Amino acid sequence: MRKIKHIVIHCADTYPSMDIGVQEIDKWHKDRGWNGVGYHYVIRRNGIIEVGRMEQVIGAHVAGFNTNSIGICWVGGKGLDNKAEDNRTIAQVDSMRLLVKSLKIRYPDAEVVGHRDLAKGRDCPCFDVRKNL
């Protein structure tokens, strides 16, 4: 198994009305020339956690850090004004906390960070992970 140093939280940069999941993100990523969904987990608006890539497979979600990280993407992150917005549902917040807790049991040394903490200049995931998870 890979040595996991980071659990990276992302947002899909989608409007709150968009109920998408792994299937749609997989298509978007393939359209970009990737070999499939870059995240290991996607959390839908209703809180359902979908598996993207298996944990032992290197992700494609944060350049320079994919080899040693697990990527989690929550659906949302864009407001109606097209600006970054923390519009997570209560179900998403609860599911994210449970998923991160589970991952921290398996990877106790992994630091939980937002995409923006590793890729400066980004809004993703639209909230400060270290303060609000």
- Which residues have CB under 8 Å from 85's CB, separation 6+? 76, 77, 78, 79, 126
- List per-residue pLDDT tens for the chain, 133 residues long: 789 999 999 999 999 999 999 999 999 999 999 899 999 999 999 999 999 999 999 999 999 999 999 999 999 999 999 999 999 999 999 999 999 999 999 999 999 999 999 998 899 999 999 888 7
Domains of the chain: 6-132 (3.40.80.10)
Q: What is the pLDDT of residue 132?
A: 84
Alpha helices in the chain (DSSP H): 22-31, 90-106, 115-118, 129-132
The pTM of this model reads: 0.95
Q: What is the pLDDT of residue 64?
A: 94
Q: What is the pLDDT of residue 2?
A: 87
Residue type for position 110: A
Alpha carbons within 13 angstroms on the beta-carbon side of residue 72 total 26
